[in-house]
Amino acid sequence: MYVFSARIPPSCTIRGEGVCLERDPGFSLIEVAFAVLVPGGKRAGTVVYRNLSRRRRSAEIGIELYPEYRGCGLGPRAIRAFLGYLFDTMRLRRVWLRVLPDNERAIRCYEKCGFRRVGYGKAYLFVPCLVMEITDEEFRGEVRD
C-alpha cells in the first residue's frame, strides 16, 4: 500500500455529472477523501481512494452517501465524475472496490458505472466481500468483445 503522496493537491475540485467533488482538507495516511456536494454546496457524502499503487496504476475506491441522498441517482453520478478524475488526471489504468455481497443497491450502482464482478475477497475485520473493478478502457467504452 502506498501512503499519501505530496503530488496530490491539497485543494482539488472535480466537476461533472451534475455534482461537485471537493477535496476534503483532512489529512490521512490511508485514503484521500472528497466531499460530494450537490447544487447549492450542501454536502451529501464522501468518495475516497486508497491503496494507490503508482507502479500498477491502480487504486481502490469507496463511497458513502448520507441516507437522505440515497436512491436518487447521486451515487452513480458521483462515481462517474470520480472515475473521470482518476483515469484522466491521475492516469490510473484500473480502479477496484470491495462491497458486501448482500448490498444489492450498491452493487447495482457500481454495475451502472461499468464495474464488473471479479471475485471474492476479505474486507476489514475479515468480512467476506465481493470485489469489482473497472479499467480505463472499459470506462471509456473502448473494450470490444
State the CATH number of the domain containing residue 92.
3.40.630.30
Domain assignment of residue 118, given as a range = 13-139
Q: How confident is the model at residue 85, as a pLDDT?
A: 93
For residue 5, being part of any structural domain is answered with no
Question: Sign of dihedral through CA atoms 116, 100, 76, 8?
Answer: negative
10-residue mean pLDDT series, the chain (145 residues): 46 73 81 91 94 94 95 94 94 96 95 95 84 96 62
Q: How confident is the model at residue 8, as a pLDDT?
A: 55
Task: Measure the CA–CA gap between 123 and 81, rounded to whole angstroms.
Answer: 25
For residue 49, being part of any structural domain is answered with yes
Strands annotated E in the chain: 13-16, 19-23, 31-38, 42-53, 58-65, 94-99, 116-122, 128-135
Q: How confident is the model at residue 125, as a pLDDT?
A: 76
Residues linked to residue 19 through DSSP beta bridges, in sequence order: 16
Please tell me the total count of domains within the chain. 1
For residue 7, being part of any structural domain is answered with no
Q: How confident is the model at residue 11, as a pLDDT?
A: 54
Q: How confident is the model at residue 28, as a pLDDT?
A: 77
For residue 19, being part of any structural domain is answered with yes
For residue 37, being part of any structural domain is answered with yes
